[in-house]
Amino acid sequence: MIAQEQKPMDEILGYLEGKQRIVTMGCGGCATFYQTGDKKAVKEMAEKLTKEGKDVTKIFLPLGISACEIDMSSVFLEKNRKAIEGCDAVLVQSCGEGVQVVREYLDDKMGLAKSVYPANNSMGNVGGGPTDFKETCQGCGECELGKIAGICPLTACGKGLMNGPCGGVREDGKCETDPEKDCAWVKIYERLEKLGELDELLKMREPHAWSKMKRPRTFKIEKPISLGRTMFGSIPEYVSFGLRKPFTPKHEEKAEGE
Amino acid sequence: MAKEVYSELMKEVEEGKFVWTGELEPEKAGSVESVVQAAKDLKGHVIACNVTDSPQSFATLSSLVAAYKIQEEAGMEAVYQLRCSDRNRIALQADVLGAGVMGIKNILALTGDHVALGDTPDAKPVYDLDSTTLSYMIRKIVDEGKDLAGNEIAEPPKMHIGAAGAPGAAVLQAEAYKVKRKVKAGAEFIQTQVIYLPEVLDNFFKELGDLGVPVFVGIFPAKSYGAAKFFDEAVAGVDVPPDYLKNLKKTKEIKDKAKRKEEVDRVNVEYFTGFLEHLKDTPATGCHMMAVGYPRIIPALKKVVE
């Protein structure tokens, strides 16, 4: 998911200076997960802006409806066409993808030239949870995990080395750039040792093919995903998982009890 | 087929000689005069000199230019250091081909310290290649006349490839695997990071086993207490023995400059005599003297090994 945190309010208010009517829109995807664009976050943002004397229209996107997925989020934009037409600025409480997908839709599909501002700073792919996350994949388009013990050094190594560790490993196996961060190559070494595959370390990993990282990247799928394929088709799994689990860190309680 | 030898350095290796290399650091300056002078001072003491490439990511004058100048103006063979931190594979290839034209016969393929550690920490780090894949790339250029993508290179340069080793690495086994990997990828000699402790040397060689290429052990007789302290504190994987540090610190109390110099030399000769006596019983086939600006110490140390 795309990690994100809300920008300092001063910065947001700076963008909105001199603009009276504001539409603020949330996101039911990552921004809901990180509580930067869920219903509560949108409400709180609206309250703060109202306190500053602004006239605010809120657009909530429910869980599963991401701002960046325009087929779904545009439904909410169209429903609020009047408010958007009459506003001075649109604030989008999502990652930068969401902000730009909304901006493009306003420009190209709704024919509305509006100032669009980000409410959040997004920091890219992270995984983990429930409260601590880390970046382990940069979405390079040419996955190397199969060659390197399931740890991506392009992301986890400070230098992104395909052949490490470098000479900068600290005594405790941390990175020269940050005493808090593990050396990815020490982790790879330890894991290969456990797997009994240390000979893998004698092999040279070829330089990574960066051609799939040519920016800006575009991506095409044959047909859009349907609700039938996603949610309805998976009802048995939702039931066996327990629908409320994702919202309460149950596994944490369980881990403590073990 | 007999191994082709392109450089004086590798010629000495092939002749079975104990090899001495030195080190020169181009400065953050628009001149290489001091480097050329230092090369002249080292002439006769070492067979070749490494020319550093923005060490510790402190941006300095080009190592290629300085390497060329010491060969031309001081008659000192260069080991041209080349880092992956600042160049992608295209720029690295351009520099390798250029080095061939400039008469460079030895390249040391380095990953390079992270740019965040240097004096220009906002620079975008590159690391498109690393020391292993850079060694492999140069090997391919020299042996096959091809670049990494397989494109033909007309009149490929002839040069030797060296790589670094870090005997004091925190996770020595992982480092040893990497050194072996670099040799497999094409490195023909290894120069190590500075070592002060004989046991570090022994552990390193034990981990390496039979590497199949010459290893030149890095030593750093410090010209002053400050220089030794810097290595101890700032350089990853280098521990300077406390007694040696203490003896150097004591020299600071000597007011007379000439006497102080004498005492610093005495401390170094004393310490390194023991170290080099030990080194003679290891598979090391040379020493890389990182005694920057301290050529007067070399003859006394060379005597120990000879």
B249-270, pLDDT tens digit by residue? 999 999 999 999 999 999 999 9
Local confidence band at A38 (pLDDT 50, 70, 90 cut-offs)? very high
pLDDT value, residue A32: 96
Query: Comparing A129 with B106, which gets the higher pLDDT?
Result: B106
For range B155-173, the mean pLDDT = 96
- In A, which residues are within 8 Å of B175 by CB distance? 165, 167, 169
Q: What are the domain boundaries of chain B?
A: 8-239+283-298
Q: What is the mean pLDDT of chain A?
A: 91
Local confidence band at B91 (pLDDT 50, 70, 90 cut-offs)? very high
Q: Report CB contact under 8 Å: B130, A189.
A: no
Q: Report CB contact under 8 Å: B181, A163.
A: yes
Q: Which of A13-22, A87-96, A225-234 has the lowest mean pLDDT?
A: A225-234
A207 has pLDDT over 90: yes
pLDDT value, residue A238: 76
May I ask the CATH architecture of the domain B8-239+283-298? Answer: Alpha-Beta Barrel (3.20)
pLDDT value, residue B238: 85
- In B, which residues are within 8 Å of A210 by CB distance? 128
A-to-B residue pairs, Cβ atoms closer than 8 angstroms:
103
pLDDT value, residue A124: 94
CA-wise closest residue to B79 among B112, B107, B40, B38 = B107
Task: Output the six-digit token pair for B224.
Answer: 């002053």
Q: Which residue among A159, A186, A206 places its CB closest to the CB of B127?
A: A159
The 3-class secondary structure across chain A, one letter per residue, is CEEEEECCHHHHHHHCCCCCEEEEECCCCHHHHCCCCCHHHHHHHHHHHHHCCCEEEEECCCCCCCCCCHHHHHHHHHHCHHHHHHCCEEEECCCHHHHHHHHHHHHHCCCCCCEEEECEEEEEECEECCCCEECCCCCCCCCCHHHCCCCCHHHHCCCCCCCCCCCCCCCCCEECCEEEEECHHHHHHHHHHHHCCHHHHHCCCCCCCHHHHCCCCCCCCCCCCCHHHHCHHHHHHHHHHCCCHHHCCHHHHHHHHC
Local confidence band at A258 (pLDDT 50, 70, 90 cut-offs)? very low
Residue A8 to chain B, least CA–CA distance (Å): 23
pLDDT value, residue B51: 98
Q: Could you give all domains of chain A from N- to C-terminal order, each with its CATH number?
A: 2-125 (3.40.50.2300), 139-213 (no CATH)
Q: Which of B18-32, B87-101, B132-146, B290-304 has the lowest mean pLDDT?
A: B290-304
pLDDT value, residue B239: 87
pLDDT value, residue A19: 98
For range B284-292, the mean pLDDT = 92
Local confidence band at A231 (pLDDT 50, 70, 90 cut-offs)? confident
For range B30-58, the mean pLDDT = 96
- In A, which residues are within 8 Å of B166 by CB distance? 167
For range A182-188, the mean pLDDT = 96
CA-wise closest residue to A136 among A101, B131, B152, A144 = A144
Local confidence band at A256 (pLDDT 50, 70, 90 cut-offs)? very low
Q: What is the mean pLDDT of chain B?
A: 95
Query: Comparing A245 with B86, which gets the higher pLDDT?
Result: B86
pLDDT value, residue B234: 81
pLDDT value, residue B88: 98
The model's pLDDT over B200-258, given as tens digits with 9 standing for 90+, comes to 999 999 999 999 999 999 999 999 999 999 888 888 778 899 999 999 999 999 999 99
A251 has pLDDT over 70: no
pLDDT value, residue A243: 58
Question: Is residue B252 less than 8 Å (CB to CB) from chain A?
Answer: no
A255 has pLDDT over 80: no
B133 has pLDDT over 80: yes
CA-wise closest residue to A52 among A14, A6, A93, A95 = A14
Q: Report CB contact under 8 Å: A168, B114.
A: yes
CA dist B158 and B156 (Å) reads 7
For range B115-132, the mean pLDDT = 96
For range B169-190, the mean pLDDT = 96
Residue B173 to chain A, least CA–CA distance (Å): 8
Q: Which of B140-149, B241-250, B284-293 has the lowest mean pLDDT?
A: B284-293
pLDDT value, residue A253: 52
Pairing type for strands B106-110 and B160-165 reads parallel
Question: Is residue B148 less than 8 Å (CB to CB) from chain A?
Answer: yes
Given a contact cutoff of 8 angstroms between Cβ atoms, the answer to whether A167 and B55 are in contact is no
- In A, which residues are within 8 Å of B190 by CB distance? none
Question: Is residue B193 less than 8 Å (CB to CB) from chain A?
Answer: yes
pLDDT value, residue A257: 46
pLDDT > 90 in chain B, percent: 92
